[in-house]
Amino acid sequence: MSRLPPFAHLTRQPPMAARKPVKRVVHGVTLVDHYAWLRARNWQAVIEDPKRVPPAIGTYLRRENAFAREAFKPLAGLQKDLMAEMRGRMREDEAEPPMKDGEWLYYERFRKRQQYPVFCRRKIGSRREQILLDGSKEARDVDYFDIGATQPSPDHGLMVWAADITGSESYVLRVRDLATGNDRDRISRTNGEVVWGRDGRFFYYIELDSSQRPYRVMRHRLGEKQRDDVEIYREADSGWFVGLDVTQDDRYGFISIHDHETSEVLLLDLDDAGEVPVPVFPRVQGVEYEIDHHAGDLIIRTNHGGAADFRIVALPVGETDLERARVLVPETPGRMLLSVHVLKDWLIWSSLGEEGPRIHIRHWETGAERVLAPRAAIGDIAATVGLEYESNILRLAYSSPVDPEVTLDLDLATGAETVLKVQDVPSGHDPAVYVTERVFAPAPDGETVPVTILRRKDTPVDGTAPALLYGYGAYGYAMDADFETERLSLVDRGFIYAIAHIRGGTEKGFRWYREGKREKKINSFTDFIAVAEFLVAEGYAAPKRIVAQGVSAGGMLMGGVANLAGEKFAGIIADVPFVDSLNTILDPSLPLTPPEWVEWGNPITDEAAFHAMRAYSPYDNIAAKDYPPMLVIGGLTDPRVTYWEPAKFVARLRATMTGGGPVLLYTQMGAGHGGSSGRFEQLDDIARVFAFALEVTGLAAGSG
């Protein structure tokens, strides 16, 4: 018996956006945009305050949300069940293991039924807890709340804390007196990063410009007004990000400036608030580096010298010629060196290659080395060096798609391990019920694409199962093989959950990233489609029962896949999708456009880059054909992928497609790029996505 098509109860027509053509000529090509009006003229104000959205745009987005709610109305019970399941796997009073800093242990924990964490500390040897910041209390009168820095002063008497209350990633800093709990010194329009001066009387922070870009470093003296703060550094190039950090030994603060392929670091003397930041060495196009400090040397992770997969070198402070650096860790082609950390007696670095992540440890004096791998054949390992420099403790976290996370402290001197936390799944979890696999899908050009698969052992691999296929493939970001309890709600209903490690990430080294960017971006799309075809060919998934999902740049992937091969999918989920790619990268006034030119190419000045982007930009390649059901999600205060990208994409799709669908647009009217901020509200977001996946694969009816 044939089943009803997805969302068959929808009888009324979806909203149709007005067409108001805007024309312009770029490199001799006339571009016509019928939905440019959906971009508010006061978009900067809307990102800061969603109530300022123009009436016509707000009305249209609310109509789209009403249509989406009507589509999901029969799935309300299923969504409720999914949320209950996911919440049942969550320990509501969860606490993170403490981190030692001097005589204090700092940690965060949750209270039952509370959306936001509590930040706490206690003295070593004492059980008396001091609550420093109660997230749920601070979030009481706002719809959105995200905490940035919680940075104690050097004497532990004060704490700078940062909060974003709109989703715009514009943080307000406050200084809290930890003896009284009172706040002072309010500083607005920051990116949430803070570095204290050593005397605890001043700190550095980063201010945002009118386009939400972190562009200058300011020094604030306690008790003074923000208008009196002093500019320490300003980045004149709008294509560069500015960040703040401190070396592990607290000897230097530093300003990090970078785009996606070049970086520069300037040292700050934390003893002298008046000192001018000093560059480690001059900015060189294509050279990336990051630093730490050890015994008078800067320890530098860099691609200098043609080390595409990076290496680690040492250079005396004050020396500016990288040619004179001594190599500590040479490049290993095909294994990306991801990070470097320094303790007084230990050098620690992480790497990633086709065989998975590794943590490397070397004793400074003896040169003895140890390499740590995930405890499962397909799994994840992460390391944290903590808050102190003269420490032998390395905090490790192990997990796999089937194994909950185990957090432990490794004593690097003795090898002793102390298990601090095993992720609890209150509703129960038996890893033996599940299986995870790593397979390789052939791409059209002969490359092989790694695929991580999670399924129940009793789910047959006979070509009948539905699947959710997740992909990203940009910025060199690699997808971890870690434990996510939410996935089990699909897997327990017979889904195959698959992650496509497509080009654009670094799962196979820097080359894998390079082969999925700029003029080669199309490889990300064709890799993903090849993985879908492979899942069907190998019996992991039934034809046309695969749901594709991607977020942000992965949402661009979803738009491209919909245009190229939408007929192969039961449904497509594009979350905060970068789908109006060409128009966005042609507009240097938008928050992330100038920094993105090195990732995608600059279509303003480079005609070849323009034609390359125009050939794959999802919004510009919508075709008169049938499209599968699609769920497209945006955030009104999103500064990364502005709300009008998904809105315009859906409007043009509806006006162009010849059949299929439905296409649903849901805009978070009070949230940004990360969706809802509360931990239970986030489950509601996931339940909506999973209910869509179950509906389009025919499993929603009777599922619960």
Active site residues: 552, 638, 673
Q: Quote the distance between the C-alpha of residue 396 and its chain's center.
A: 21
Q: How far apart are CA 16 and CA 640, in angstroms?
A: 26
Q: Cβ(18)–Cβ(37) under 8 Å?
A: yes
Give the Cα separation of 656 and 314 in Å (integer). 58
Read off φ and ψ for residue 662, nearest 5 degrees.
Answer: -75, 160
Token digits of residue 613: 């982007």
Sequence-separated (6 or more) residues with CB below 8 Å from residue 489 = 82, 85, 86, 690
C-alpha pair distances (Å), 618 with each of 495, 645, 653:
28, 10, 10
Among the listed residues 353, 379, 487, the one whose alpha carbon sits nearest the alpha carbon of residue 436: 379
Which tokens hold the place of 73? 């109305």
Q: Can you spell out the DSSP letters for 360-376?
A: EEEETTT--EEEE--SS
- DSSP H or E run through 258: strand 252-258
Q: Identify whether the C-beta of residue 648 lies closer than 8 Å to the C-beta of residue 38.
A: yes
Q: From the CB of residue 175, how many other CB atoms can be counted at a distance below 10 Å?
A: 21
User: Residues 6 or more apart from 187 whose CB is under 8 A from it?
Assistant: 172, 173, 174, 205, 220, 226, 229
Please, are residues 552 and 475 in contact by the beta-carbon 8 Å criterion? Answer: no
Contact 249, 346 (CB under 8 A): no
Residues 6+ apart with CB under 8 A from 487: 401, 454, 497
Q: What is the DSSP string of 555-603?
A: HHHHHHHHHHHGGG-SEEEEES---SHHHHHT-TTSTTHHHHHHHH--T
The residues facing 627 across adjacent strands are 660
Please return the burial class of 101, using the count of CB atoms within 10 Å of its CB with bins 0-12, 13-18 and 19+.
middle
**Which residues fall within 8 angstroms of residue 623, CB to CB, at 6 or more apart?**
563, 656, 657
Residues 6 or more apart whose Cβ sits within 8 Å of residue 507: 352, 353, 354, 450, 478, 479, 501
| 592 CB-side CA count, 13 A | 16
Q: Are 487 and 686 in contact (CB under 8 A)?
A: no
Q: What is the DSSP letter of 220?
A: E
Give the three-state DSSP class for 481.
coil
CA distance 185 to 229: 11
Count the residues in the chain.
Answer: 704
- The CA-atom distances, in angstroms, between 245 and each of 146, 148, 284, 413, 451 are 20, 14, 21, 27, 35
Which stretches within 411-552 are classed as H helix? Answer: 488-491, 510-514, 522-537
Identify the bridge partners of residue 221 per DSSP, sorted by sequence position: 202
Name the strand (E) or helix (H) holding 337: strand 336-343
Q: Is 394 left (phi over 0), alpha (psi -120 to 50) or beta?
A: beta
Contacts of 484 (CB under 8 A, 6+ apart): 401
Q: Which residue type is seen at 187? A: I
